[in-house]
Structure 1
Amino acid sequence: MDDSDLHLEIAPELLLFLPASRRRPEQRVAWDGTSTLGHVIESLGIPLPEVGPVTVDGAPAEPSHQPAAGERVRVEPMPRPQPVPLEPGQTAPRFLLDVHLGTLARRMRLLGLDTAYHNDMDDPSLVVQANAERRVLLTQDRGLLRRRALWLGAHVRSSRPDDQLRDLLERFAPELSPWTRCTACNGVLASVDKTAVAAELEHGTRDNYDVYGRCADCGQVYWRGAHGDRLEGIVQEALRTVAAARNGSAAGGVPTSTGASGTP
């Protein structure tokens, strides 16, 4: 190793952020003499919101640390479950998802997570909303995670919504309140008498179901329909995943499908 280089050891969980041609734990980086440790790590492709403990020659270091040539740096992933600062009265984190994660947003709402989602919001606006409402911004856009103004964000693994949900639950282990949010708009559901919604229901629905809820925001009506058993399976799997994450062990199985008087 050249004396002017830094030697970085990257944890296996972070290698996915490196270009395929450089996806190996041992990295040698030419140091320019002025860059911070955070800048060096991000230059490899790793967003800082994904980085956990960092050590330099065995001692803890912050991203603002200015390294010296020849130092050995160990970069760990963000610990799981990851704590999220909560506002007074909050029992679970709030989330904001970017335009590509609509299916994940509906599944999170099914579990009662406060999940904002827009299919037409640009990156600067996402950062503004995330900061103003103290929402964790979930995205697969690494550039978005590198925005210095963003208070807290997380990269969503996988292209499959069921794997994305499991990853999210294992990472944050949030308190779940299933069946309490509208999967369409994120509003809170309230029980409603069957007679109050009868005119909005199909004949077969009125005859076969007696328990209903209505979204306080958009007015959509919900009931345990044909997808009820599948949804209950997803909810139970999510509860097991969170419990396992809190116990420090990996949860087995993945949700298979979702729905709610329309299927998420």
Structure 2
Amino acid sequence: MLLQIPAELQQFLPPRLRGLPVTAPADGDSTLGHLVESVGPPLPEVGGLLVDGREVASGYRPVGGEVVDVLPIRRPQAIPEFADAAPRFLLDVHLGALARRMRLVGIDTAYHNDCDDPTLVIQANAERRVLLTQDRGLLRRKNLWFGAYVYGIRADAQLDDLLRRFALPLAPWTRCTACNGELRAATREEVESEVEAGTLDRVDAFARCRACDRVYWHGAHGGHLDEIVEAARRTAAGIR
């Protein structure tokens, strides 16, 4: 059986197979989805399967000799569960920098730096959160309701790709970057016992997290954060 892997999914192949025809043995028992994953691409990153030009499900059992086109995800990717609401996400332990950026632009993002894989899957399923990871083994877990691979090395590139993939609505400065709680406006008098006098003299607008009570204001690092937000807005505007 010949597997035709598109450029978008070549990175999941072993280096020795990239750019070359990929074959997989059809034993009559293994599903097509299993055979595709055995050569590299996890099924959550596959947008469709064509056998000799005919669309089939991942549970199809090839008999041998077929030509299989492995299609990439069509972008922007729809998530049926969130037809009338913004998607919610859960990130694995290696994506802390991305989690902070997602929260900064207002995306509902759960993250823990100490969760093992089974715990992540349980939370993703229970809360109906899209699990984001760069661990292909985690994406291959059969009981995971919905997952997606995070492309890119740096967090800025990862966020850009994520926005393009899911066409996410943005609401910058509305979530706590530490805990994901929603922010509310806070008065100067309310926060004066928690903020240095010099900051109180320079800053007019404050916010407080409804969940953890952390206080926010536009401070010395605001310029870098502004750049992240503006880059996200440009990406989002380019998708529409």
TM-score by length of 1: 0.88
Tell me the distance in 2 between the aligned counterparts of 1:91 and 1:148: 25
Counterpart CA distance in 2 for 1:25 and 1:93 is 37
1:21-69 superposed Cα distances (whole Å, 9 cap, x missing partner): 1112521212212111101100011100000021111111110111121
SS in 2 for 1:116: strand
Residue in structure 2 matched with residue 105 of structure 1 by the alignment = 99
1:223 to 217, 221, 227: 217
Q: Is the 8 A contact 2:27 2:63 kept in 1?
A: no
**Alpha-carbon distance in structure 2 between the residues aligned to 1:84 and 1:206:** 44
**Structure 1 counterpart of 2:21:** 26
Distance 1:120 1:133 in 2: 18
2:182 partner letter: V
Alignment check: 8 A CA contact 1:173 1:245 kept: yes
AA at the equivalent of 2:206 = Y
Q: Could you tell me which residue of structure 2 aligns to residue 175 of structure 1?
A: 169
Q: 2:66 matched to which residue of 1? A: 71
- Counterpart-to-counterpart distance in 2, 1:55 and 1:86: 25
Counterpart-to-counterpart distance in 2, 1:209 and 1:86: 41
Supply the AA of the counterpart residue of 1:72. Answer: V
Q: Which stretch of structure 1 is more off in the superposition, 143-152 or 52-61?
A: 52-61
- What letter corresponds to residue 165 of structure 2 in structure 1? R
Could you tell me which amino acid in structure 2 is paired with residue 124 of structure 1? P
Tell me the residue number matched to 1:253. none
Question: TM-score if structure 2 supplies the norm length?
Answer: 0.96
Q: Aligned pair in 2 of structure 1 residues 127, 68: CA closer, same or farther (>3 Å)?
A: same
Partner of 1:46: 41
Amino acid at match of 1:229: G
Give the aligned residue type for 2:205.
V
Alpha-carbon displacement from aligned partner over 1:163-202 (angstroms, at most 9, x marks no partner): 1111111111111111100000000000011110011001
Compared CA separation, residues 19 and 182, structure 1 to 2 (3 A): same
Cα distance in 1 between the residues matched to 2:215 and 2:112: 21
Unpaired segments ≥5 residues, structure 1: 1-5, 247-264
CA drift at 1:145: 0.2
Tell me how far apart the structure 2 counterparts of residues 21 and 87 of structure 1 sit (CA, whole Å): 39
Q: After TM superposition, what 4+ stretches of structure 1 lie above 4 angstroms from structure 2?
A: none
**Paired residues of 1:38 and 1:64 also in contact (CA < 8 A):** yes
Q: Distance in 2 between matches of 1:119 and 1:15?
A: 30
CA–CA separation in structure 1 for the residues paired with 2:60 and 2:82: 30
CA distance in 1, matches of 2:6, 2:136: 18
The count of residues paired between Structure 1 and Structure 2 equals 240
Structure 1 residues 88-237: aligned runs within 5 Å: 91-237=85-231
Contact 1:93 1:136 in 2 (8 A): yes
Deviation at 1:85, TM superposition (A): 2.6
- For the aligned residue pairs, the C-alpha RMSD in angstroms reads 1.3
Q: Does 1:84 align with 2:74?
A: no
Whichever residue aligns with residue 63 of structure 1, its letter is S
Instruction: Give the letter aligned to residue 181 of structure 2.
Output: G
